[in-house]
Amino acid sequence: MSTLLSLLDAFDDRPEARNLRELTYRGLGDAVVDVGCGGGRAVGELTARGANAIGIDSNPTMIEAAIERWPAGEFRIGDATALPLPDGSVTGYRADKVLHALTEPEQAVAEARRVLAGNGRAVLVGQDWDTIVIDSDDPELTRTLVHARADTLPNPRIARRYRNLLLDNGFVDVSVEVHTTVFTDETCLPMLANIAGEGDWFDAQARRARNDRLFVALPIFLVSGTRAK
């Protein structure tokens, strides 16, 4: 779990990731649930701004880490497809890098609609795991590695369905944004190791990083909508 937290921290500490989080906070109101809260950063930041923010994660270790890191926040163990919240109890729903890990993402979005009050805002954020762009001397192998890593996930391509998921669950005014994070240094090597493991391909990418020749681009989809009354 420390490895996962380290990967999340490395990404979330980047300026473009901080800017993207700011965009996800728009219009969430004063009662927010952050589903799949991980280490709790978003809950901590929202709480510091005066929101009543609740972080929910199915992993007890993540919840323990979140409580330790952000003691002012509220955190609960729970399932994204069966949230421990009453109907219409929040004004904002946020799920960042979550739905790809679920076997039933459709149910998670149905839960978003259930717990949101009328005119509440849902925000879905995540990557399409097939669309990681990596410069490499062996593009065929790179494509194979990226797709093989994607196929280990329950729903690696769910981000391209975010808009339709919201529309299918009665959300209106649905908007789509794409924000691309570009890596050109060693900070993304843990992510590349997660994709490929150790070996010649990873060693070549590490050399690129040392020689200022690394290029990795990660498109992040931000899709939001309003729950119709």
Tens-place pLDDT, residues 97-148: 999 999 999 999 999 999 999 999 999 999 999 999 999 999 999 999 999 9
Which candidate, 83, 124, 77, places its Cα nearest to that of 100?
124
Residues 6+ apart with CB under 8 A from 179: 16, 19, 20, 23, 219, 220, 222
Give the CATH number, domain containing residue 67: 3.40.50.150
> What's the whole-number mean pLDDT along residues 151-163?
97
212: pLDDT strictly greater than 90: yes
User: Could you tell me if residue 194 is inside a domain?
Assistant: no
User: Could you tell me if residue 33 is inside a domain?
Assistant: yes
Q: Measured between alpha carbons, how far is 226 from 122 in angstroms, rounded to an integer?
A: 6
Number of domains, the chain: 1
Query: Angle at Cα 68 formed by Cα 63 and Cα 70, nearest 5°?
Result: 90
User: Could you tell me if residue 149 is inside a domain?
Assistant: no
12: pLDDT strictly greater than 80: no
**How far from each other are the two terminal CA atoms of the chain, in whole angstroms?**
40
User: Could you tell me if residue 51 is inside a domain?
Assistant: yes
Please report where in the chains the tokens 């998921």 appear, as a residue: 165
Q: How many Cβ atoms from other residues are within 10 Å of residue 208's Cβ? A: 22
Q: Measured between alpha carbons, how far is 108 from 83 in angstroms, rounded to an integer?
A: 9
Angle between helix 139-150 and helix 200-210 axes, rounded to 10 deg:
110
pLDDT at 221: 97
Please report where in the chains the tokens 């009453």 appear, as a residue: 86
Domain span at residue 176 reads 3-128+154-180+221-227
pLDDT-based confidence at residue 229 (cuts at 50, 70, 90): confident
**Strand, coil or helix: what is 188?**
helix
Which candidate, 212, 31, 204, 193, places its Cα nearest to that of 120?
31
User: Could you tell me if residue 186 is inside a domain?
Assistant: no
* pLDDT tens profile 73-104: 999 999 999 999 999 999 999 999 999 999 99
User: Could you tell me if residue 144 is inside a domain?
Assistant: no
pLDDT at 13: 77
Give Cα 201 distance to the centre of its chain. 27
* pLDDT tens profile 175-184: 999 999 999 9
* pLDDT tens profile 27-64: 999 999 999 999 999 999 999 999 999 999 999 999 99
User: Could you tell me if residue 193 is inside a domain?
Assistant: no
Mean of the per-residue pLDDT values of the chain: 94
User: Could you tell me if residue 176 is inside a domain?
Assistant: yes
188, two tokens: 């993304």
pLDDT at 87: 98
Q: Measured between alpha carbons, how far is 50 from 31 in angstroms, rounded to an integer?
A: 10
